[in-house]
Structure 1
Amino acid sequence: MGKAKEILHMTRDEVAKAITSFPVAILPLGATEQHGHHLPLGTDIFLAEGISRKLSEKTGALLLPTLPFGYSWVWRDIPGTLSIQQHHVEAVIKDIAHSVSRYGIKLLVLVNGHDANNSSMKYAARELMDELDMSVIYLFYPNIESVIDMHCDSPTWHGMIHACEFETSLMLALKPELVQMDKAVSEYPKKPNLYGKSTISLGNLSQSGVYGNAILATKEKGEKMIDIFIENMTSLLFEAYERTKEE
């Protein structure tokens, strides 16, 4: 595994040379929002960035700076949360895509750490297909359900991940110095009948900000899950890149 090609640490000549040999770039997408009392507000940033760095090391793709803001409306009243509108997330993705396409990137890989970014990624990719001669793929923990079933000991909250065993384990593997396990809790709030059909939000349901059982998280679980994600993402990246050469 080589060194990550982080463009912030490279000169213009180094970036140009890298694009000539492998015209692929990775854009990590995060958010700044509460993750309980045991995880930092930058959790989604750290996870997207950490996994993207490993993907860059594995593949040789360029690593772009991480987008630190997402659509975090549900946590908007909690101190520290920074939320931008969903269509702004989509617009930023598109602007970055147009930027990198101008100097030869043929494949942009979006690596997401924040669930609410998924819609923005999907619609940005669809619009970009009609605007650019560049492919875009968007990844959010590929095969997450089976990975959680295999390596986590607690169920998710109705399929959602937030400050739970899953995210806490990933943080213990990537940024253990920022995890306060003595404050980790287990909480599965009751799901109102109108949840998902009204403006009832996550911010009003959980007392701790945790949705799941963070107490059961371990570094070992996180490392095993990250290895699987990197393997899957590497395969998807190269498959998408091969398709660009056929088009």
Structure 2
Amino acid sequence: MYLADEAWPDLESYLDAESVALVPLGSTEQHGPHLPEGTDHLIAEGLARAAADRGGYLCTPTVNIGVSPHHKQFPGTMWVGAPEFRDYVESFTRNLTYHGLDRVVYVNAHGGNIEHLQEVGRRLYDDETAFAVEWMWDESIPELVDELFAENGPHGGPKETAMIQHLRPELVHGDRLESARDGGVLMSELEEAEPDGRRRGMVNGARVFYDAADNTDNGVLGDQTDASAAKGEQLFEAACEQLVELCDWLSARETEELRPKPRR
């Protein structure tokens, strides 16, 4: 069930019996010359809505803009500050608990959101308001990702390319996949040592870069030519299955199991 499509009398009867909500979150940021800026939130929304339909859960509207200042040099990237993002997510999650939804899955598709969603979950857990967890789609199926792609990449690489080829093929610039690869960076190249023995972007154990533009001229990593809609469908179906199982697990827990244990 998609919350924004429903009238309140229908939601009232639904909320009387259910306690789990899926909240899709992503970003609006560069994903290289071949993918749309909405890549992350398109993936998050696709997975959240499919899992909600298949598992009988509630899906909220999507949070389309996340913590993305590290992509700011590329035209069109939008972002919010980390404190504002955390406060916003915490606020609307508390709103969900007002309606009886005290088990929340943040269906996330943007790496820059991870630590902030986990922090919000911690706050809500500590004051016993809700049990909210961050879920990142590719982290639920790491073996499959490794199996499908020889040169994967964390941003704009073949896994995200394949997912958008599956979900929204009309938004993928197929004629730019080779230039995306050639103008970006392969993960194997990132792992190679510099002439002085240091890894790229590292000095004496410290990471000395903040922005994507410091490492990749066109904003992407990995071999995009290794992607296909068929691989995207495999990824989507496997991740969706993992998400439904997570929601089933949450739904089956007694409230006491999702609260902090008392002091010893």
Q: Output the TM-score relative to the length of structure 2.
A: 0.85
CA RMSD of aligned residues (A): 1.7
1:192 corresponds in structure 2 to 201
2:244 is aligned, of 222, 225, 234, to: 234
Structure number with greater Rg is 2
Q: Is the contact between residue 22 and residue 60 of structure 1 (CA under 8 Å) also seen in structure 2?
A: no
Distance in 2 between residues matched to 1:244 and 1:181, nearest whole Å = 48
Gaps spanning 5+ residues in structure 1: where?
Answer: none
More divergent stretch after superposition (163-172 vs 12-21): 12-21
1:140 is aligned, of 127, 132, 136, to: 136
2:107 aligned with 1:111: yes
2:160 aligned with 1:167: yes
Structure 2: which amino acid aligns with 1:122? Answer: Q
Q: Is the contact between residue 201 and residue 208 of structure 2 (CA under 8 Å) also seen in structure 1?
A: no
Shift of 1:133: 3.6
After superposition, the Cα gap between the structure-2 partners of 1:93 and 1:165, relative to the gap in structure 1 and judged at 3 Å, is same
Q: Is the contact between residue 201 and residue 209 of structure 2 (CA under 8 Å) also seen in structure 1?
A: no
Q: Percent identity?
A: 26
1:219 corresponds in structure 2 to 229
Q: Output the TM-score relative to the length of structure 1.
A: 0.91
Distance in 1 between residues matched to 2:142 and 2:89, nearest whole Å = 26
1:41-98 superposed Cα distances (whole Å, 9 cap, x missing partner): 0111101001111111111111111111111111112211111111222111111110
How many residues align? The count is 239
More divergent stretch after superposition (135-144 vs 87-96): 135-144
2:73 aligned with 1:68: no
After superposition, the Cα gap between the structure-2 partners of 1:144 and 1:116, relative to the gap in structure 1 and judged at 3 Å, is farther
Q: Is the contact between residue 20 and residue 250 of structure 2 (CA under 8 Å) also seen in structure 1?
A: no
Distance in 2 between residues matched to 1:132 and 1:82, nearest whole Å = 33
Structure 2: which amino acid aligns with 1:203? Answer: A
Helix, strand or coil: the match of 2:104? Answer: strand
2:175 aligned with 1:182: yes
Structure 1: which amino acid aligns with 2:88? Answer: V
1:34 corresponds in structure 2 to 30
Shift of 1:138: 1.6
Gaps spanning 5+ residues in structure 2: where?
Answer: 191-199, 258-264
Helix, strand or coil: the match of 1:139? Answer: strand
1:26-55 superposed Cα distances (whole Å, 9 cap, x missing partner): 110111100011111011110100111111
2:28 aligned with 1:25: no
